[in-house]
Amino acid sequence: MIIVTVNDRLGTKAQIPAFASDKIKDFKVMVAMQVGREPHEILLKRQGERPFKDQLTLADYGVSNGVQLDLEVDTGD
């Protein structure tokens, strides 16, 4: 089990336990539960990198214990 920190740099910061093998889509549901936004409005990415895709897992992006991800609003484009 890893604990991932999600931060939108605007005051919202949440620590979310997950498995590294979780899909990004499922992880977004967890984040949505914590942050209070719809899962499809959530866009996750490492700082300065491209947004994560739903089909891949956290492990695919090399997310391990204690990693911080940037949280942005996904406008759909």
Binding site residues, other proteins, CB under 8 A:
1, 3, 15-22, 26, 29-30, 33, 59
Judge whether 71 and 6 are in contact, CB under 8 Å: yes
Q: Which is nearer to other proteins, 1 or 50 (CB)?
A: 1
Shortest gap between Cβ of 2 and other proteins (angstroms)?
10
Shortest gap between Cβ of 68 and other proteins (angstroms)?
15
Shortest gap between Cβ of 33 and other proteins (angstroms)?
6
Q: How many CA atoms lie within 13 A of 61 on its CB side?
A: 25
Quote the CA–CA distance of 30 and 16 in Å, as a whole number.
Answer: 7
